[in-house]
Chains A and B, each alone.
Chain A
């Protein structure tokens, strides 16, 4: 399949089930809501090394937030429920509770409950106040600045982690420019996050390593400087590859996000240095979710 001069390879992204939740973080200003959101989703690129994958889903307008202040929706994914139950209160406690003027609310209902105030209330050392209104419990934790307000808990969803595609380009600048265009388009799709820095991964990995104890290592098949020393998946004109990893609340959300990203890259075309779109997989035997590039772009 060739679209605007860009080859869409006959490949697929292999993704895994993850359990995730959404939080709505608000603050007096949009600036501080985003600071809290970015901080609490920091160091959460890969579940292998960070214990979870998290990112900003979207900016939430004042009219949609539980307290009428500027907000940001974040998604957090872990490999299992216990993992999620551990990382969510920890991250809120260290990064949202501490962030000036912030509040933290449930961003989804249903599924297993993930503690927010239920776990954080103890910080208030007995001065915490619970209010149950409209069928929902909120907690008020007196802090030096005033009060930190949060919901009792949030819901969870069985999601999909590790959707991805690779952008093969003729230079480092062109690969990154294409990746940035993809990220901008993908950030408009609700229900997904791109957990890596700026949404882009420059160091995609393969499973395993020659070194004992390493679960993942550099994907030498796509490393342009190793072309002469190892089996390569890169045509001669490709000098740089960027990857975009997608986690989402459902298969459809990840598929829609993947499509939006590839469409943005294809719009740049071969003229802007994009040679091909590929995807990372493990042969199809490990992950139950397969995002076939040509089917998505059909």
Chain B
């Protein structure tokens, strides 16, 4: 295994704030991190091995491990387990891979880079943070499992792919960008959606402000499939047609949901 490896010395008794633990940080063992209500050196919680070459591996994660990769600009973080809230929050570049599941606000307000989560994610995937008006605005997020409520709320750009199901209120107030849901959509999706695109298997779950606009052969789908591996995977080979729904018309939105049955 190359790069820096962080192995927990034992189970955590409190939430761990991992913000600031990024590839390229000097003397990571002495880096102060939040642990419950106090700050302690990272080395007290984790055994540190290897040398930093732009890649940090966390051996065995935990749902208590918050803000992993927050603000990442370059390099790679791999978590061989679960993470808590705020995964990659505000990230601008680089790559984060989580083999397990992630908590709430994963990919919140990221502007670039890629996050791949093998398992499920909590609420407000790629969404705007508390008191913030804009969610993720660039980059790619792929969730292998299902997402909690309000995924892609106020999404502003980039591609979010959920291979499983999306919870209630996905794409609420979505501003722009693309949300792909390969599984089932929870109720009230796209409410208040302004622009942007939902790529779905079924219209079930769309809020009542969406209206059908017919089936269309869209050149745009051909282009997106060649520029996004995630969208190409969702569409499948040779698919260029989609059923188009426009919405949220109740709020004057010009967004769309494109239904591409499997």
Q: Does A201 contact B (CB under 8 A)?
A: no
Provide the bound-state CA to CA distance between A138 and B221, in Å. Answer: 11
Q: Is there contact, CB below 8 Å, between A68 and B218?
A: no
Q: A127-B254, A146-B216, A146-B217 are in contact. Are A133 and B228 (CB under 8 A)?
A: yes
B165 nearest CB across to chain A (Å): 23
B256 nearest CB across to chain A (Å): 8
Instruction: List chain B residues, Cβ under 8 A from A127.
Output: 254
Beta-carbon nearest neighbor of A132 in chain B: B157
A221 nearest CB across to chain B (Å): 52
Q: Chain A interface secondary structure, helix, strand, loop or mixed?
A: strand
Q: Does A293 contact B (CB under 8 A)?
A: no
Provide the bound-state CA to CA distance between A35 and B219, in Å. Answer: 18
Q: Does A7 contact B (CB under 8 A)?
A: no
Provide the bound-state CA to CA distance between A103 and B197, in Å. Answer: 20
Q: Is there contact, CB below 8 Å, between A133 and B222?
A: no
Count of interface residues, chain A, beta-carbon cutoff 8 Å: 18
Q: A127-B254, A129-B254, A132-B157 are in contact. Are A138 and B220 (CB under 8 A)?
A: yes
Provide the bound-state CA to CA distance between A103 and B222, in Å. Answer: 11
Q: Does A112 contact B (CB under 8 A)?
A: no
Q: Is there contact, CB below 8 Å, between B197 and A66?
A: no
Q: Is there contact, CB below 8 Å, between B227 and A134?
A: yes
Q: Does A190 contact B (CB under 8 A)?
A: no
Provide the bound-state CA to CA distance between A66 and B158, in Å. Answer: 19
Known contacts A131-B224, A146-B217, then 17 further A-B pairs from the complex at CB < 8 Å, ordered by chain A residue: A66-B226, A67-B219, A67-B222, A68-B222, A68-B226, A103-B219, A127-B254, A129-B195, A129-B254, A129-B256, A131-B197, A131-B220, A133-B231, A146-B216, A146-B218, A147-B219, A147-B220
A residues near B, CB below 8 A? 66-69, 103, 127, 129-134, 136, 138, 140, 146-147, 149
30 contacts between A and B (CB under 8 A): A66-B223, A66-B227, A67-B219, A68-B222, A68-B226, A103-B219, A103-B223, A129-B254, A130-B195, A131-B220, A132-B138, A132-B157, A132-B177, A133-B159, A133-B178, A133-B223, A133-B224, A133-B227, A133-B228, A133-B231, A134-B227, A134-B228, A136-B227, A146-B219, A147-B218, A147-B219, A147-B220, A149-B219, A149-B220, A149-B223
